[in-house]
Chain A
Amino acid sequence: DAGVIQSPRHEVTEMGQEVTLRCKPISGHNSLFWYRQTMMRGLELLIYFNNNVPIDDSGMPEDRFSAKMPNASFSTLKIQPSEPRDSAVYFCASSPGLTGELFFGEGSRLTVL
């Protein structure tokens, strides 16, 4: 069975450019999470959805970040405009319920120059 699929795996962009990260959760999972990982701050929850509805976006750093989940099989995380401090690995994870058992994708490594 396919796991959580993220794209792109790597992205290098220049400051000010728009970045869009994509995620396909595991089929049948009704919760989706976006995390950011850095050496300094570890794993930070940015936003999560339950049944395609955003439940908690308190972790989204600022208005430059936005996330959507138009249907049960697709989500995007957008950064516009990007800044060097946004450089990190962004993980998408999905969960079949509310047990806390998350299944992570392989991550999207973003470098903003």
Chain B
Amino acid sequence: GQQLNQSPQSMFIQEGEDVSMNCTSSSIFNTWLWYKQDPGEGPVLLIALYKAGELTSNGRLTAQFGITRKDSFLNISASIPSDVGIYFCAGHLSSSNTGKLIFGQGTTLQVKP
């Protein structure tokens, strides 16, 4: 079946540092999405990417849809303590005519003040 490999599994960084995480797949996706999950909450959509090569920013977050359509990365610049949480990538295959997403295993981010 389809799988997403997300790395790194976890990161422990100093406040102010930049962060980078990525996701790769053996399958092609039409949409890549990045979610963040705070402790005790459900995942919240951060960024959605719809075109190969697309680079999208949302504040200090930047994400790119890989040109091969099999990968995506998320960068966080100048990290702050509230960036703590689990970040998930997810791929969507629109040709499946469903809303079904495939999720990565998540990257746990801890930020030291």
Do they bind each other? yes
Contact surface of A with B, Cβ cutoff 8 Å = 4, 31, 33, 42-43, 45, 48, 50, 55-56, 91, 93, 95, 97-107
Contact partner of A107 among B41, B94, B101, B106, CB < 8 A?
B41
In whole angstroms, what is the CA distance A55 to B48 when docked?
A: 24
Contact partner of A56 among B42, B92, B94, B100, CB < 8 A?
B100
In whole angstroms, what is the CA distance A111 to B43 when docked?
A: 20
> Interface extent on B, as a size class?
20 to 34
Contact surface of B with A, Cβ cutoff 8 Å = 31, 33, 40-45, 48, 88, 90-92, 94, 97-101, 103-106
**Contact, CB under 8 Å: B42 / A101:** no
In whole angstroms, what is the CA distance A56 to B101 when docked?
A: 12
Contact partner of A42 among B48, B101, B105, CB < 8 A?
B105
**Contact, CB under 8 Å: A100 / B88:** no
In whole angstroms, what is the CA distance A91 to B44 when docked?
A: 12
